[in-house]
Amino acid sequence: MSNVMIEMNNIHKKFGNNHVLKGVDLTVNEGETVALLGSSGSGKSTLLRCINLLETPDAGDVRINDYSFTASKINKHVKLEARRRTAMVFQNFGLFANKTALENVTEALITVRKKSKSEAIEIGRKYLDKVGLLEQANQYPSTLSGGQKQRVAISRALALDPKIILFDEPTSALDPELVGEVQRVIRKVAEEKVTMLIVTHEMDFARDVADKVAFMSEGQIIETATPSEFFTNPKNERTQKFLERYLQRFSYSI
């Protein structure tokens, strides 16, 4: 049995009267790429944000590899510990607008990981190279295309060497012709056995890149399976409906 990177037990989250997460359980093993699917409003992004505590869960337990916490005991310190074990790639890139591409990658290495500037720059250049953006190292985000921005965000996440990288709809804000370059980079990262949890609406991409698919509906994960099993032989009725709708949309476009 491989090392567990994420283990969530019975996670609950409410926004006012809106009960978004109703007891979610999720396990992600080391080196695994897990795609989190589900219709809009099913709680996928909220679940992701409950791992690095950009949202605070109301109840439940979370373990990030060697670090465990329980929802009722979350404070500033717990948040920092959780965030220092994870990295996130946002839908809207979340690049620091006042920093160059390279500085975006080195910033946390210097301020959080306390690496020397020269070491940070070396690491930063290595990871920018990995996503094919070494030439753009000194450009500001405003001068980069959406696809380039997201690749910088991915190299920033990789450089932190986190236990897991959380992707929150990484291609949803991109122009269609830029989706491919970002997906290719994520696929490359997956091949290197970096642990990833990806919220996405791109079914083909999920099928292609994921080792495991988790399907969320109405605040719960109702089905977890390998991609081939999930897409060809879904067990749950709601999963079947969801996939039918998706396939229908697909046939329309033909």
Partner 1 sequence: MGKIFDFQFMIEIIPSILKGIPFTIMIAVVGFAVGIVIGLFGALFKIYKVPVLNKLTGLYVSFVRGTPLVVQILLIYYAFPILIKLINFKFGTKIDISWIPAVVFMFIAYSLNAGAYLTESIRASILAVDKGQMEAAESVGMTMWQAMIRIVLPQAAKISLPVFANFFIGLLKDTSLAFTAAVPEIMGQAKIQAGRASRFFEAYIDAALIYWGLCIILERIVAFIEKRNKESA
Give percent helix, percent strand, percent coil of the chain, each to the nearest 5. Answer: 45, 25, 30
Cβ distance to partner 1 smaller for residue 158 or 225: 158
CA–CA separation, 81 and 163 (whole Å): 12
Q: How far is the CB of 76 from partner 1 (least distance, A)?
A: 8
Cβ distance to partner 1 smaller for residue 88 or 174: 88
Cβ distance to partner 1 smaller for residue 186 or 225: 186
Query: What stretches of 112-196 show up as alpha helix (H) in DSSP?
Result: 117-130, 146-159, 176-191
Q: How far is the CB of 51 from partner 1 (least distance, A)?
A: 10
Cβ distance to partner 1 smaller for residue 107 or 229: 107
| Radius of gyration of the chain from its Cα atoms, rounded to whole angstroms | 18
CA–CA separation, 136 and 114 (whole Å): 25
CA–CA separation, 128 and 125 (whole Å): 5
Q: How far is the CB of 203 from partner 1 (least distance, A)?
A: 26
Q: How far is the CB of 1 from partner 1 (least distance, A)?
A: 29
Q: How far is the CB of 141 from partner 1 (least distance, A)?
A: 9
- Judged by the rule CB under 8 A, the positions of this chain that interact with partner 1 are 52, 54, 76, 79-80, 83-84, 86-88, 90, 92, 94-99, 107-108, 111-113, 140, 142, 156, 160
Q: How far is the CB of 87 from partner 1 (least distance, A)?
A: 7
Q: Is the dihedral of CA 49, 51, 57, 59 positive or negative?
A: positive
CA–CA separation, 194 and 182 (whole Å): 16
Cβ distance to partner 1 smaller for residue 80 or 247: 80
Tokens coding 246 = 């998706």
Cβ distance to partner 1 smaller for residue 72 or 92: 92
DSSP 8-state secondary structure symbol assigned to residue 3? P
CA–CA separation, 50 and 71 (whole Å): 9
Tokens 């439940």 sit on residue: 60
